[in-house]
Structure 1
Amino acid sequence: MPQDRRLASIVNAVNPGVPPLVEPFPETPTAWAQAYALSWPEYPERYVVRLIDAGASEREAVRIEFRAARLLGEKGIGPAVRSADAEEGVLVMDRVDGHPVRPAARWQALSVADLLAQLHSLAWDNPARLYAEKRRVAGDSVLRLTERIPALALFGEALREFDALRAGLRELAVPQTLCHNDLNPGNMLFDGRRAWLIDFDHVGPGDPLFDVATAIDSLGLLPKDADAFLARYFGRPPTEGEAARLELLGCLVLLRYGLSGLSLVPEELQPGLASWTPDDIGEAWVFERAAHEALGRSVFRLSLGFATAGLARLRGEPAARALRTLGIGTAVTARREAALVGTGHAEW
């Protein structure tokens, strides 16, 4: 069903005969979904309609996303789901009257910590990882771009470091829980009283501290607020091993967003990437689009910020100490050196 027909059918079903105000959410670089806000001057209801592009997403992945959205809505972690049709790719949710923030205040950080503790305690019996295919496609794209455009060597290094670090962390075999896996600032909303999590198209089992590390960095928390976040999440201070994992996962998060961002740059803009300069490097987590700037160019600048920050953090003493604490430094080094003489990359 074409996108406009799907949206029209939802509009007619919610309040028949009463035309709503339909507002598309701002353009994003991801191709697989578009969201619209629905409201009526005469009625209090406010909804968000998420339309999935059938050509960009597998049907089973949509089913899993919608199932997760319904579960998390029922638990009060995300907005309540009013309708979910995976066959048509249509999800209707209550609209949260909230906004992303960075840096977050302490009460906002603690609210996210509570939500993550709740999320990571939920029973979830589906082993599928919705982020895995997206990450594989992104990795392949980055590999092709760095081979074709030597000026993007920074991302080739980021990909090798990502693969090596991820392989080392996987050797720890930590217990997996249901995770959000994409806690960028736009996916945590605050309404003045509490936090809400949205957008569940990356859900799946994973290391719960990946979400924790992402949230702490994404929210721009000061050290004391980060400590309060962790004490709230764990119910105690983190152990030495947990702190080490968080440090390395923080590096992994930055590298992942850098690589993913590069893969989202449209093909028509890719030839121009060879001329980037240090002035183009954006700030990790801060999406700024200059007037008349192509969206893809803004995404590229952000990806440079993530990749640069991730490599710098990984080279720091806290990361080196964390590798020693966890006993995976040798494995990570061996994987990195093997990548320099080999081809391809590990599955994300």
Structure 2
Amino acid sequence: MQSQTHDLRFTDTEVRKRFLSWADGEADREWRCLRVIAEQAPGIAPRPLRQETADGHPVVVMERLAGEPLGGTPLTAAQTASLGRTLRRLYDIPHEHITAAGIGERRFGPSTLPPALSHWLDEPHDLSPCQDPAQVRAAIDATREWLARPDALLATRLVALGIADLNPANILWDGRTCRLVDFEDGGLTDPAYDLADHVEHLAGRLTGVFDPAALSAAVGLSEDERERMDAYRPLWAAFWLVMLLPGNGGFRRNPAGTTEAQAAHLLTLIR
């Protein structure tokens, strides 16, 4: 099994995750995250077993967990409650243990995503392959204006460890418990920021996998944190709009009209 960043090989007890590049440090992030989780919140993610090199590529070997990936249908109440408990244990890992493990800010974290979005949205885009170029252009322009507003962005809080990529396929359900896999982008974050990322993830949002209110309640977010989560959601909706623009992989992989639907969704969040 191969993704854009790694391939996976399975035995009955182990998973070998071979990364295709050293360039972005995915293998080190994964290893460090799994180690601190194994020490501070065991059982919510695979135990890291060893690091290797294969044909010049970094490899992380971890235990194989029981369960099937979620996705495609909304989570049940039991699954939402279990996922909330799992994420709470992740977010409750003491900050000093995270930093002591050499873990920095997650990939596309709260301090790096906004400038990246501004850069991407300022680039010229040929929208002619879109079904409704004017609608997509309106969403791009509105987002650029929103990002420039002084009240649009929150002060960065890097207070907890996050998985960063909660594609529903990265949640394993064994009938009782949700566990997490794929920490290659993980790192320090704000729980409200990571939950905004999770509920806006295209793979989950299009099929209604996550109920934002139910998941934030299951995690135990405070009222202030729920407000921060809502304030962060436009950033991730904009991220997915960029991924769905012509020339990007999301545009090729998704049905016609997905870009326009994302543009409409984004506009509801920033207006």
When the two structures are superposed, what TM-score results if normalisation uses the length of structure 1? 0.58
Structure number with the bigger relative contact order (C-alpha 8 A, sep ≥ 6) is 2
**Counterpart amino acid of residue 58 in structure 2:** G
1:309-347 CA-to-partner distances (Å, cap 9, x unmatched) read 1222332xxxxxxxxxxxxxxxxxxxxxxxxxxxxxxxx
Mapped pair 1:106 → 2:77: yes
In structure 2, relative to structure 1, the CA distance for the partners of 1:158 and 1:305 (3 Å cut) is: farther
Contact 1:181 1:210 in 2 (8 A): no
Aligned equivalent of 1:200? 183
In structure 2, how many angstroms separate the alpha carbons of the residues matched to 1:115 and 1:188?
10
Aligned equivalent of 2:154? 170
Mapped pair 1:80 → 2:47: yes
Measured after TM superposition, the shift of residue 199 of structure 1 is 1.4
In structure 1, how many angstroms separate the alpha carbons of the residues matched to 2:138 and 2:177?
39
In structure 2, relative to structure 1, the CA distance for the partners of 1:70 and 1:182 (3 Å cut) is: same
SS in 1 for 2:152: helix
Measured after TM superposition, the shift of residue 164 of structure 1 is 4.2
Aligned equivalent of 2:219? 233
Contact 2:118 2:147 in 1 (8 A): no
Aligned equivalent of 2:209? 220
Q: Of the candidates 242, 265, 274, which is equivalent to residue 248 of structure 2?
A: 265
Measured after TM superposition, the shift of residue 145 of structure 1 is 4.3
Q: Of the candidates 150, 165, 169, which is equivalent to residue 186 of structure 1?
A: 169
**Counterpart amino acid of residue 68 in structure 2:** G
**Counterpart amino acid of residue 268 in structure 2:** A
State how 1:4-15 maps to structure 2 within 5 Å. Answer: none
Q: Percent identity?
A: 21
SS in 2 for 1:205: strand
In structure 1, how many angstroms separate the alpha carbons of the residues matched to 2:104 and 2:166?
20
**Counterpart amino acid of residue 269 in structure 2:** R
Q: Of the candidates 35, 43, 68, which is equivalent to residue 33 of structure 2?
A: 68
**Counterpart amino acid of residue 256 in structure 1:** F
1:7-43 CA-to-partner distances (Å, cap 9, x unmatched) read xxxxxxxxxxxxxxxxx25xx5xx3x2222423xxxx
In structure 2, how many angstroms separate the alpha carbons of the residues matched to 1:300 and 1:61?
32
**Counterpart amino acid of residue 45 in structure 2:** G
Measured after TM superposition, the shift of residue 209 of structure 1 is 0.8
Mapped pair 1:115 → 2:80: no
In structure 1, how many angstroms separate the alpha carbons of the residues matched to 2:192 and 2:258?
24
1:197-226 CA-to-partner distances (Å, cap 9, x unmatched) read 121122222221122334456463457xx3
In structure 2, relative to structure 1, the CA distance for the partners of 1:53 and 1:175 (3 Å cut) is: closer
In structure 2, relative to structure 1, the CA distance for the partners of 1:314 and 1:192 (3 Å cut) is: same
Contact 2:80 2:218 in 1 (8 A): no
Measured after TM superposition, the shift of residue 196 of structure 1 is 1.4
Aligned length: 245
Mapped pair 1:48 → 2:15: yes
SS in 1 for 2:108: helix
